[in-house]
């Protein structure tokens, strides 16, 4: 009786935290002024549409060199070539005609494609200043598998970003104050930690989208704590951001037959959702604001007021992540599970970070 009451209270608390993600406050340049990014290199996945594209446009305006990491999209989506043109136009208009802005192919549903993207970047020999792990899909089906044998949402939203980040760490580490921004979601509060069904499937507790956003946010906390233990990586800052409740193309793919809550959220988004430009400010803020930058006390770089990483940011405001993100045992189990699925040790990706 007492335990079910307690669990009911926890569920209500999680629901309350998830609902806070719908805060539609209109943000202005006063909230996210940006900064001069001339000469900086930024990679952003899923940037031919939605909040990724809008973030790329802001970065272009502020002078960054950009690699839009996109796939060949379906015919109805904006082609990455057009996204590059939009960004170049804005860069030119703001006096940054020398910025390099390109799109490089990556299919997050194909690990070989992620590996090829990383090889291409590492071969360039450049240091990476900001990595935005943004591409994502919503629930299609708990049993929709990729050619790698992973459930689609699990791979696109989570596994591929883990691989991308770990592969690019040497390049991030070469920059003076690198940042990694992961687009998680307030829905991570509704996710369940079901490592027995890590790769989803019909018996999984919770939904594929919420669970994987929870794993992503937990991984953000774990990775930052590991960065801090290693001189090579302690200057890297990683945070998870929720962009808001945003009207974008992502809602098109909700499988209305299988996903009742998704269907409701999709309908509601038309009435209370914010624009993609407003949603993108979560990314650009996390990439540029001093307070979401490195903490000079623990990271030996950055400015006073920098709060360091491992945090969950609801749009531009720090918020409490789900309690699992503070549970060291749970985070460790997730870390081990990732090694099992992606063979990270065999790939040499845990040599410094450890298992
Ligand atoms: N919209 C919201 O309310 C909301 C709330 C919380 C979190 N988020 C998160 O925000 C992120 C961006 O979503 P959005 O709302 O901006 O939706 P969106 O417009 O659909 O953007 C998603 C992006 O991910 C890309 N993508 C999907 N599958 C891919 C794959 N296999 N390989 C490479 N790229 C792929 C899409 O490319 P294509 O054009 O080729 O499909 C698109 O560029 C996602 O991670 C999402 O989970 C959104």
User: For residue 56, what is the domain's CATH number?
Assistant: 3.40.50.720
Domain assignment present for residue 355? The answer is no
**For all residues of the chain together, what is the average pLDDT?**
94
Domain assignment present for residue 350? The answer is no
Could you give the CA distance from residue 302 to residue 324 in angstroms, rounded to a whole number? Answer: 28
Domain assignment present for residue 225? The answer is yes
pLDDT number for residue 256: 65
Question: Ligand 1 pocket, 248 CB below 6 A?
Answer: yes
Cα(300) to centroid of ligand 1, in Å? 34
**Residue with CA nearest ligand 1 atom 1:** 246
Cα(136) to centroid of ligand 1, in Å? 4
Contact 46, 277 (CB under 8 A): no
What confidence tier does 1 reach under pLDDT thresholds 50, 70, 90? Answer: low
pLDDT number for residue 88: 98
Domain assignment present for residue 234? The answer is yes
The count of structural domains within the chain is 1
Query: Where is average pLDDT lowest: 21-35, 86-100, 140-154?
Result: 140-154
Cα(220) to centroid of ligand 1, in Å? 19
Domain assignment present for residue 338? The answer is yes
Domain assignment present for residue 354? The answer is no
Query: Where is average pLDDT lowest: 2-11, 151-160, 299-308?
Result: 2-11
Which range of residues forms the domain containing residue 143?
2-342
Cα(45) to centroid of ligand 1, in Å? 9
Domain assignment present for residue 152? The answer is yes
Is pTM beyond 0.85? Reply is yes
pLDDT number for residue 257: 60
pLDDT number for residue 128: 98
Counting ligand 1 atoms within 8 A of each CB, the residue from 24, 45, 46, 115 with the most, and so the one to mutate, is: 46
């Amino acid at each position: 009786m007492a335990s079910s009451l307690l669990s009911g209270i926890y569920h209500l608390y999680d629901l309350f935290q998830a609902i806070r993600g719908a805060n539609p406050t209109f943000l202005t340049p006063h909230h996210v002024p940006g900064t001069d990014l001339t000469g900086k290199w930024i990679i952003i996945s899923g940037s031919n549409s939605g909040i990724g594209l809008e973030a790329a446009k802001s970065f272009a305006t502020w002078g960054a060199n950009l690699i839009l990491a996109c796939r060949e999209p379906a015919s109805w989506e904006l082609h990455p070539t057009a996204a590059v043109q939009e960004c170049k136009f804005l860069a030119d208009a703001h006096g940054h005609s020398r910025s390099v802005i390109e799109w490089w192919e990556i299919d997050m549903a194909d690990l070989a494609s992620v590996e090829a993207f990383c090889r291409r970047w590492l071969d360039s020999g450049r240091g990476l200043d900001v990595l935005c792990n943004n591409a994502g899909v919503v629930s299609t089906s708990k049993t929709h598998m990729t050619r790698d044998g992973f459930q689609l949402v699990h791979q696109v939203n989570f596994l591929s970003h883990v691989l991308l980040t770990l592969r690019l760490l040497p390049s991030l580490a070469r920059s003076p104050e690198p940042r990694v921004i992961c687009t998680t979601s307030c829905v991570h509060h509704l996710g369940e930690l079901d490592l027995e069904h890590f790769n989803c499937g019909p018996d999984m507790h919770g939904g594929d989208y919420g669970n994987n956003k929870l794993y992503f946010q937990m991984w953000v906390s774990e990775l930052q704590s590991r960065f801090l233990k290693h001189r090579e990586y302690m200057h890297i800052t990683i945070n998870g951001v929720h962009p808001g409740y945003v009207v974008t193309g992502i809602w098109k793919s909700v499988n209305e037959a299988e996903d009742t809550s998704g269907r409701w959220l999709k309908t509601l988004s038309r009435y209370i959702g914010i624009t993609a430009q407003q949603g993108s400010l979560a990314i650009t803020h996390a990439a540029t604001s001093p307070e979401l930058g490195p903490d000079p006390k623990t990271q030996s770089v950055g400015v006073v007021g920098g709060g360091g990483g491992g945090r969950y940011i609801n749009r531009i405001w720090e918020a409490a992540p789900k309690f699992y993100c503070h549970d060291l045992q749970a985070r460790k189990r997730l870390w081990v599970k990732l090694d099992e699925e992606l063979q990270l040790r065999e790939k040499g990706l845990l040599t410094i970070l450890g298992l």
